[in-house]
Structure 1
Amino acid sequence: MFTRIGTAALRSCFRQSFSRKFASTENLLVDLYRKEGALDTVTVSLALNDLRDGGIRKTDKRLLPLLERLVHAQENENGQMSAEEFEKLLNCTNLELAYKAFQKQLIIPDFQGFRAEVTDIFEGVRENREGNIATYIPDLAKVDPDLWAAAICSVDGQRLALGDSAKRFSVQSAGKCLNYAIALDSVSSDVVHKYIGLEQSGKEFNAITLNEEGRPHNPMINSGSLVLCSLLERGRSVSDKLDFVRSQYERLCGGESVGTNSSTYSSEKETGHRNYAIGHLLQDSGAFPADGPPLGEILDFYFHLCSIEITADTGAVIAATLANGGICPTTGEKVLSALAVRNTLSLMFSCGLYDYSGQWAFAVGLPAKSGVSGCILVVVPNKMGLCLMSPRLEEHGNSVRGIDFAKRLADKYNLHQFDLSGKDYKREIEEEAN
């Protein structure tokens, strides 16, 4: 189902060979869509359908001039375009991407088949109504418990969105992995881990406890995130810090909409008594940097970060940026360093789903980070990113449907990071039993 993605060196070799090949066959794509019986005319609808079926949207920024002109010709020019103009458009766009998309050589070559199978999984999971919404944050208690969204973005920018994928929600703790990655690049790993550990806590994500060294166990729980808030953009106001982090989120998702919810922020601030207690413990233990901001500012910044809003569709691009080594698939911009991504994925794998992290690593085997809003960001390295959203939570604070979907998808496509053989073990067991 998936095309293997090579190393940077292999990609460089591909670009060189591609340039040599295409220099002698520059009209290959034009030939694909020439109208039968009219060699000087291209049938636009065929080209648009192939892009759509391959997971490329009409709004894809990387091919936007080509896409806008094709759409205009389809709507206003009887779906026809001269072969000469089509060739000129191709030569003025991301030719390598266009070639791979039209020739079905993207990371998910059979995207139509993939879409159908993932949709079946999505609808099957919809029937799972176990779990309860988080009520200890008043604003989350108002959310429709039946919301269900799943979105996928491949490292080549192929997009799939199902259910309530355009519905906005607060990232809550799902944003902790992103804040950590941003801090690794803006502050440095050495500084971050001078104050924050690397191990699972073995306790609830909001436990009022520290490790034996008097530090938070890891950056994926509340105590660790509070210390991160004391390190990020030191010396700047809370509003400036929030603007900085939001701008980084926007780069991670290719410029798609990232907002903040003032109602959620107020709700967090008014009822976050446990976070206040954790903050005082951190302060009393000397866990914050000596030259850091006052505790009140740290907590205020933390509540703002929990209240950042995205959609599942946007979250999938963010996860795909992590899957793509820090390069946003929809823009090609390098947002995070490879080291920041590696360290972030490592801790997402070991600590990303609270006290369920060990079971998740065993059953799904992919880096992920959840939040009590019902969001789970899932990363399939070198292949794709997912954002799953359903507010009904299991006992540890993770989305029930999100876990169910991820398990089924990982089983379907052998996505577990330690399944090195590519075998379908589930089928083997069933065959042996029969």
Structure 2
Amino acid sequence: MSSTKSEDGPRSRRSNQSNRTRSTDSEVLNISESKPLTDILAEVFEDETEGHINVLELLGKINQCGFLSTQDVRLRPLMDRLLISDTANDKYNFYNIKKSVPVSDLKDLPSNCTDIIKKTIFGKALIPEFSRFAEDLLTMYNSVAEIKTGKIPDFLSSTTKNADQWGVSVCTVDGQMWSCGDSNIPNTLQSCSAAFSYAIAITKLGTQRVHKFVGKEASTHGFMNTLDLDKNDVPHNAMIQSGAMAITSLLLQEHPNDLPSSYENIVNFYERLAGNKPLKINNTVYLADKSRCDRKFSIAYLLKEHNGFPPNCKLKHIIDLYFQLNSVEVTCQTGAVMAATLANGGVCPTTGDDVLSRTAVQNTLSIMHLQGMYSYSGEWMFEAGLPAKSCTSGMIMIVVPGMMGMCLFSPPLDHNGNSTRALEFGRRMAQRFALHYLDNHISAPLRKENLSRRQDGTESHEMAIMKVMYAAAYGDINLLSRYHELGLSIDVCDYDYRTALHLACCNGNIALAQFLLDVGVNVCVMDRWNRTPLDDAIKYGNEELVKLLKNHGAGEGPGPIENEYDK
């Protein structure tokens, strides 16, 4: 049963600003997803040579969907079968790819590789229209690049940072990637490491053990380097310096006298979060941090006085490991994957590695809400409604739970210690798209667009029908409005070809009928007995409803088909 939306019917402002119409190749070609992959490829990417497929069209489609064929490790089995030469150092590039291959060469690909290809063909990736999404991101990137406010911190001025550096990377929970600008420049994690170390500690040690040493509330002052403790004489949370040191001591406890092993174990977790990308320390930043460590030692001694560290951990080792973790370098691209791992419940999108426990992710995102943006955290939560972690290297990591992770980098900082460009980009993302944690749960503003096919209800047509008809039967206009804002068609019909407007007319619900007409449903659709909504309104004698329908171009059916219900 398909939607029968009228092209000429009146539409309100809500309808004009609804989500973009989506179509997939599977809908156009009418291909069954249950077919073997080779049959699907042969039908969609058929080459001039019989039994061959056009490789460039296939890879172009994959890349357009946001899956980077030359970089995504999940696509390596596919790429290995397309290579001209297997001996080149940089073999995964389009110059080393065959233009055409027999479709039989692509049999028995691994399931994660097949999954990406099918998501691409059938439009089942998290963001189906990824290329249009990328265009929006590029527009925002270029606009934000014009911002010249902010100041580079003194400790970064002595390194290679400059005010013009500006990079952005986005990674969805499906592993769709987009990057722009200086997204490959390595930047130190600084206080962003606190979020990941906290998640690792909970995964390894459990919530009860970790929260004996750190609290779960916002700091009184909102700054990272506060010396005060909470009512239980522990750091307020894991995102401030005292809390990060306490977490570091817990991670050090496994090898209290073996600093290299502790560092290696933690960074191994970081690398798994980043999709198995190798990470290293920026020695210049590490030494610079150590040269001005007096306040850190003051905080550490305060914690030691209040038994804030596990026994047998040396203070010098705690401080040293803390500085090392802060000095680990990531690019925007690897940082986006790390953030996307949090968005994906602890499972790395690009490898499928289950790195963190679900409890660890939930707790980490909660604390990021509270303290992730320093003293600006409350305003950020109000504006964007997204867990985020900022650091003084000019980087901000933003997590959209269940959807994507973002990593943004620009060295100039505002008075709160947040990157001015990255902060503005995050604001514009939240204004442009329905990403705020309350969007789609209460009522997303009409100007926002919902990105995800999974969230707009189009994965299951039958489920969409059930939701809409249930809401219409109970006259729940608010619920129908929310479905409409999420991109769900409310012009669907049930097995009797009856629509929500039919139900509104049978129930005499003028307010519901007005809403449905405002969003442009088909006023002349007929059910299986040739009844239109106007026929139902006439049958139940609602003159006001009859007038309303006629004013919107409604007509009567050719005559009802008699059935047992009418007798």
Paired AA for residue 55 in structure 1: G
Matched, 1:201 2:219: yes
Q: Select 1:41's aligned residue among 52, 64, 89.
A: 52
Corresponding position of 2:79: 67
2:211 match: secondary structure: helix
1:369 match: secondary structure: strand
Q: Select 1:258's aligned residue among 279, 301, 307.
A: 279
Corresponding position of 1:96: 115
Question: Given that residues 37 and 114 in structure 2 are in contact (C-alpha distance below 8 angstroms), is that contact kept between their aligned partners in structure 1?
Answer: no
Structure 2 residues not aligned, in runs of 5+: 1-18, 22-31, 86-93, 450-567
Corresponding position of 1:146: 164
* 1:322-347: CA deviation from partner (whole Å, max 9, x where unpaired): 11111100011100111111111111
Q: Select 1:316's aligned residue among 325, 336, 339.
A: 336
C-alpha displacement of 1:45? 0.7
Corresponding position of 2:130: 111
After superposition, the Cα gap between the structure-2 partners of 1:296 and 1:414, relative to the gap in structure 1 and judged at 3 Å, is same
How many equivalent pairs are there?
407
Question: Given that residues 252 and 318 in structure 1 are in contact (C-alpha distance below 8 angstroms), is that contact kept between their aligned partners in structure 2?
Answer: yes
Structure 2-normalised TM-score? 0.68
Matches within 5 A, 1:6-405: 21-23=33-35, 27-36=39-48, 38-57=49-68, 58-72=70-84, 75=95, 79-86=99-106, 88=107, 90=109, 94-135=113-154, 137=155, 143-203=161-221, 204-236=223-255, 237-289=258-310, 291-405=311-425
Q: Which runs of 4+ in 1 moved over 4 A?
A: 23-26, 73-78, 89-93, 138-142
Specify which structure has the bigger relative contact order, considering alpha-carbon pairs within 8 angstroms and separated by 6 or more residues: 1
Q: Select 1:422's aligned residue among 431, 439, 444.
A: 444
Question: Given that residues 257 and 310 in structure 1 are in contact (C-alpha distance below 8 angstroms), is that contact kept between their aligned partners in structure 2?
Answer: no
Paired AA for residue 147 in structure 1: Q
C-alpha displacement of 1:380? 0.6
Structure 1 residues not aligned, in runs of 5+: 4-19, 428-434
* 1:36-56: CA deviation from partner (whole Å, max 9, x where unpaired): 4x3322111100100111111
Structure number having the greater strand percentage: 1
C-alpha displacement of 1:186? 1.2
Question: Given that residues 414 and 424 in structure 1 are in contact (C-alpha distance below 8 angstroms), is that contact kept between their aligned partners in structure 2?
Answer: no
Comparing 277-286 with 153-162, greater Cα deviation is found at: 277-286
After superposition, the Cα gap between the structure-2 partners of 1:105 and 1:304, relative to the gap in structure 1 and judged at 3 Å, is same
C-alpha displacement of 1:424? 2.5
In 2, distance between residues paired with 1:336 and 1:224?
20
Question: Given that residues 194 and 244 in structure 2 are in contact (C-alpha distance below 8 angstroms), is that contact kept between their aligned partners in structure 1?
Answer: yes
Question: Given that residues 107 and 156 in structure 1 are in contact (C-alpha distance below 8 angstroms), is that contact kept between their aligned partners in structure 2?
Answer: yes
Question: Given that residues 390 and 400 in structure 1 are in contact (C-alpha distance below 8 angstroms), is that contact kept between their aligned partners in structure 2?
Answer: yes
Paired AA for residue 265 in structure 2: F
* 1:382-428: CA deviation from partner (whole Å, max 9, x where unpaired): 1110001111111111111111000001111121111223333589x
In 1, distance between residues paired with 2:198 and 2:157?
25
Paired AA for residue 196 in structure 1: V
Question: Given that residues 133 and 140 in structure 1 are in contact (C-alpha distance below 8 angstroms), is that contact kept between their aligned partners in structure 2?
Answer: no
Identity across aligned pairs (percent)?
A: 36
C-alpha displacement of 1:350? 1.5
In 2, distance between residues paired with 1:99 and 1:393?
43
Paired AA for residue 217 in structure 1: H
* 1:168-206: CA deviation from partner (whole Å, max 9, x where unpaired): 011000111000000001121111111111111121211
Corresponding position of 2:535: none
C-alpha displacement of 1:288? 2.0
Structure 1-normalised TM-score? 0.89
Question: Given that residues 320 and 329 in structure 1 are in contact (C-alpha distance below 8 angstroms), is that contact kept between their aligned partners in structure 2?
Answer: yes
After superposition, the Cα gap between the structure-2 partners of 1:389 and 1:72, relative to the gap in structure 1 and judged at 3 Å, is same
* 1:21-67: CA deviation from partner (whole Å, max 9, x where unpaired): 5256751222100024x332211110010011111112211121212
